[in-house]
Chains A and B, each alone.
Chain A
Amino acid sequence: MSKKNLKYLIKRKDNLYEVVIGLEVHAQVLSESKLFSTSATKFGAEPNTQVSLVDAAFPGMLPVINEFCVKQAIKTGIGLNAKINKRSVFDRKNYFYADLPQGYQISQFKDPIVGEGKVILDMPDGQKEVGIERLHLEQDAGKSIHDIDPQSTFVDLNRSGVALMEIVSKPDLRSPDEVSAYIKKLRSIMRYLGTCDGNMQEGSLRADVNISVRVKGSKEFGTRCEIKNVNSIKFMQMAIEYEANRQVDLIEEGKSIDQETRLFDTKKNETRSMRSKEDAHDYRYFPDPDLLPLEVSDEFISELKNNIPELPDDKKKRFIDEFKLSPYEATILVSDIDTAMYFEEVVAKMGKNKDIKLAVNWITGELFAVLNNKNLEISQSPVSAKNLAVLVNLIKNGTISGKIAKTVFELMLDGDKDPQKIVEEKGLKQQSDPKAIETLIDKIINDNREKAIEYKQGKEKLFGFFVGQAMKASGGKANPQLINEILKKKLQ
């Protein structure tokens, strides 16, 4: 596949358009308590049961920074290869809304805690670097619920004050696929670090998508629109498709694009104007006088740096070097921390005489298929890494054939059974006695003399027929390698 074919471009008559995308990802900090209060942050709690006086903005209540959240943000910054700012400032972003109790959100405006960084994406046509503009800490708002009562809006403040990291990318993304890869990479890094669980269904990860289009080759950026609060990769891709085409159509019609904030309607699969630039809020940012500038020392940062776990890019490199995996295999295995951990456990449990390639095939083949079918995460795998290692070893040392292994695997799914036991109980051990196989083959050749002659005369395709017959006769247990060897000898 040539690189050119992978480019995402929109064609209209003679014009080719390029799409320019930047993301503002809101990632919920994995933390027991909120950014400026000690309330819990558990998802799915009864409404308004995780709300302190600070979260509800009672008179005289003051924010106190949660040091753990600061550490989480810095760790994420390190994971994004970014500059950590030793001095950052919390600002107030002022606006009125029923689920914003203070009447302002505490955020970081001019001086974020993390500056420029980068992430590497593995695309089918090679690696792509995406620049990170900044990462800042801010509070989440509460939730307005409009559909309980026809007359009133209900407000749940459980989320109010929960720590978010807003990660702003540079406008470096050029296609829905790159956006998907970028989000997955961010999520992967944060899950490795334990700084965000990346759960999009629960709203732990959501994004505002900035999109503009321009004629391919043009250096100038087009006018951008911001699509607010998209909470799944699929919807992001759909929104980008729609929005990019809408903008291209406007240009083709000779119309101009208004800089505005838009919403993605997931039911109609279209974006709609939410507010224009003129109606944009004036947030009246100013430094929060209740909080001093946040200052962190070099020691504080290096302490965190020293405790950063191996991240996906490094792990991938090590998998390739140490286990001789292909870059493709390594990418698949490291993309999710739980998969990587599972794989490494399998490798460890296989002992000395191990076949890592075989293990990789089993994980990415049979196991992934099962997980997919059952809609399970690898952390919920019905087959433990230990037992999968045993199974792979049984294949490797010739106890069972690959084919029998599939039968064994099916049986293992029910309660993570020990494959060794299954093999013993069901008598599935591979027949590796050459004498017994020879007898068996002699009989088959005898029963199919004509075919044997045809084979010897050159109809080589028939070899498979004899293998099949031999396998069948052994109940699938004969060592396929031995069958091959003996058959070849006998049919000479």
Chain B
Amino acid sequence: MNNIISQSLTDLIKNIKDKKISSEEVTKSFIQRAEKSKKLNCYITEDFENAINKAKKFDKKPNYDSKLPGIPVAVKDLFCTRGLKTTAGSKILSNFVPTYESTVTQNMWSEGAIPLGKLNCDEFAMGSSNETSFFGNVQSPIDKNLVPGGSSGGSASAVAGQLSPITIGTDTGGSIRQPASFTGIVGLKPTYGSCSRYGIVAFASSLDQAGPMAQNVKDCALLQEVISTYDPKDSTSIDFKRSHYSEELTNNIKGKKIGIPKEYRVDDMPKEIEDLWQKGIQYVKDCGAETIDISLPHTSYALPAYYIVAPAEASSNLARYDGVKYGFRVKGENLIDMYEKTRSEGFGAEVQRRIMIGTYVLSSGYYDAYYLKAQKVRKLIKNDFDEVYKKVDAILTPSTPSSAFKIGEKTNDPVSMYLNDIFTVPVNLAGLPAISIPAGHDSKGYPLGLQIIGKAFDEQNILNIAFAMEEKINFKNKIADWWIK
């Protein structure tokens, strides 16, 4: 079988179960693809030899009852992996090898998946273009010198570029959905508390959530089914009844009420995005759903609130990287000097910027004006959603206000970079699930995504809507392998 890498997860599983292909063949195919794709800079750490050995081991004693039988998967380098370097895209963790495994990755390996290695990301997941990684920026398979989005940029490029059949990312303010949208793949940010945060390098604890990224909705549903478990090791993990997302997946969304929020029609939004949105509205109507105009009045405050809450938590979460216990250290004259040198050299500019913002907004005298106010805004945003969910089952919006931009285009303008998250951050602030699906192309042929936001714990519903829309949209990603000569 020579088209292994272009197969969906669902097809790969079927073919492995039918013994048409072996795990070793599949694993080697993706490794070969990765070897030819170094230009994309998707990987921070490859673990190919071990992967092949594990695949061979699987083939010798296959367990076809597992959900990801012998499927090779590379994951974002924010998940701690036992015995495999975990850097969070940062110099300060560039030599860090965990002795433990994150719950989410463990869930995948327990279901038969085979780890390929660790994928590039923005440093500590702080970025929207994968340009803040200590290990260099990631190229998009869509076009040369195009950003894949961020922070799960390496993950998005790996799936879109067929280096990994599926992957997992993390989403604090859009870090799964925005790169999924930029690279023409599907990305789900689950409800806060759905996937355990245990073993994930923390950025902003009250917003971070791991989620699946895949080529299609069904693959995404299956991966969500695998990674979402209740975990007592994470105090914010929620013990709710998780559905069998892939098995219960249906394109029957007749009678569903889909809200269209007017506040997501922002100034300077390109016409192509508006057109895409209108197309999306038509698609859901074609599927038998009903669209309702709604208002989420506090939407415009979401981005500023997010850029207070997230840096505040980050400034505290990143305090542990001090050169004392593990990771990178620069010697100093004394303890303070060591701290200053280690953290100045160990953290990149964007991380330092956010640590400083976070430290500032938590400082005495500013706490009430910034952090506390932002928390109040957060509550209002959540109330907005609660209110509209009395009338609608889900909400349809564009995933991003534009298509992917060029590498370097926004690096000197952090605010314009932050504005990229405008449609995704309200979801994190409210702790809701949302999925981005590819829905079309812009005039340059770059993918554009639509976002479906659901009620808390209602992943099944947004997966179903996405599944139904996917059929109508019939999106084809235009990957011409520009990086392979």
Contacts and interface: CB of A to CB of B under 8 A. Distances in A.
Interface of A: 53, 56-65, 92, 94, 96-98, 101-104, 153, 155, 282, 284-286, 289-292
A284 B314 CA distance: 13
A94 B204 CA distance: 15
Contact of B100 (A58, A65, A292): A58
A61 B101 CA distance: 10
Interface in B43-88: 79-80, 86, 88
A105 B319 CA distance: 11
The listed residue with most B CB atoms (<10 A of its CB), out of A58, A101, A291, is A58
A56 B325 contact: yes
B235 A62 contact: yes
Contacts of A64: 232-235
Interface stretch (B6-14, B362-370, B404-412, B471-479): B362-370
B320 A62 contact: no
A153 B335 CA distance: 9
B209 to A, nearest CB: 12
Contacts of A284: 315-316, 359, 362-364, 367
Interface string B184-199: 0000000000000111
Which secondary structure dominates chain A's binding surface? loop
4 closest A-B pairs (Cβ-Cβ)?
A103-B319, A289-B206, A289-B205, A284-B362
Interface of B: 79-80, 86, 88, 93, 96, 98-100, 102, 197-202, 204-206, 232-236, 312-313, 315-316, 318-320, 322, 324-326, 335, 339, 359, 362-364, 367, 371
B322 A96 contact: yes
B200 A98 contact: no
A286 B235 contact: no
Contact of A98 (B312, B316, B326, B335): B335
A59 B206 contact: no
22 contacts: A58-B100, A59-B93, A59-B98, A60-B102, A60-B198, A60-B201, A94-B316, A94-B362, A96-B339, A97-B335, A101-B324, A284-B315, A284-B316, A284-B367, A286-B312, A286-B313, A286-B362, A289-B204, A289-B205, A289-B206, A289-B236, A292-B235
Nearest to B336: A96
Nearest to A144: B335
A252 B232 CA distance: 61
A109 to B, nearest CB: 11
A58 B88 CA distance: 13
Contacts of B100: 53, 58
Contacts of A98: 324, 335
A103 B86 contact: no
Nearest to A294: B235
A286 B362 CA distance: 7
Given A58-B100, A59-B98, A96-B319, 4 more contacts: A59-B88, A289-B204, A290-B235, A291-B235
Contacts of A153: 335
Contact of A65 (B201, B235, B359, B362): B235
Contacts of A96: 319, 322, 339
Contact of A57 (B88, B199, B320, B364): B320
B235 A102 contact: no
Contacts of B79: 60
Contacts, number: 97
A131 to B, nearest CB: 27
A155 B102 CA distance: 27
A84 B83 CA distance: 45
A309 B79 CA distance: 48
The listed residue with most B CB atoms (<10 A of its CB), out of A56, A59, A101, A282, is A59
Nearest to B327: A59
A92 B318 CA distance: 13
Contacts of B359: 284
A455 to B, nearest CB: 85
A102 B202 CA distance: 12
Contacts of A60: 79-80, 98, 102, 197-202
Contacts of B313: 286, 289
Given A60-B102, A60-B200, A103 B322 contact: yes
B344 to A, nearest CB: 14
A308 to B, nearest CB: 28
Contacts of B205: 289-290
A40 to B, nearest CB: 18
Contacts of A59: 80, 86, 88, 93, 96, 98, 201-202, 320
B367 A286 contact: yes
Nearest to B313: A289
Contact of A286 (B199, B201, B316): B316
The listed residue with most B CB atoms (<10 A of its CB), out of A62, A96, A103, A153, is A62
Contact of A282 (B232, B236, B363): B363
Nearest to B193: A292
Given A59-B88, A60-B102, A103 B320 contact: yes
A57 B319 CA distance: 10
B232 to A, nearest CB: 7
B228 to A, nearest CB: 17
A285 B320 CA distance: 16
Nearest to B232: A64
A284 to B, nearest CB: 4
B233 A62 contact: yes
Contacts of B200: 60
Nearest to B96: A59
A181 to B, nearest CB: 36
Contact of A62 (B234, B316, B339, B371): B234
A62 B233 CA distance: 7
Contacts of A104: 316, 319
Contacts of B326: 58
A191 to B, nearest CB: 31
Contacts of B96: 59
B61 to A, nearest CB: 31
B372 to A, nearest CB: 9
B99 A53 contact: yes
A184 B200 CA distance: 46
Contacts of A103: 316, 318-320, 322
B279 to A, nearest CB: 38
A178 B178 CA distance: 64
A94 B201 contact: no
Contacts of B236: 289-292
Nearest to B335: A98
A289 B316 CA distance: 10
Contacts of B322: 96, 103
Contacts of B201: 59-60
A462 B364 CA distance: 83
A293 to B, nearest CB: 11
Given A59-B86, A60-B197, A102 B335 contact: no
A58 B98 contact: yes
Nearest to A281: B364
Given A62-B235, A101-B324, A291-B235, A286 B371 contact: yes
Contacts of B198: 60-62
Contacts of A290: 202, 205, 235-236
A101 B447 CA distance: 44
A486 B132 CA distance: 106
The listed residue with most B CB atoms (<10 A of its CB), out of A60, A153, A285, is A60
Contacts of B339: 96
Nearest to A286: B362
Given A62-B233, A96-B339, A284-B362, A57 B325 contact: yes
Contacts of B204: 289
A355 B197 CA distance: 66
A59 B318 CA distance: 9
A101 B320 contact: yes
Nearest to B236: A292
Given A60-B198, A103-B319, A282 B235 contact: no
A92 B322 CA distance: 17
A53 B363 CA distance: 29
A291 B204 CA distance: 13
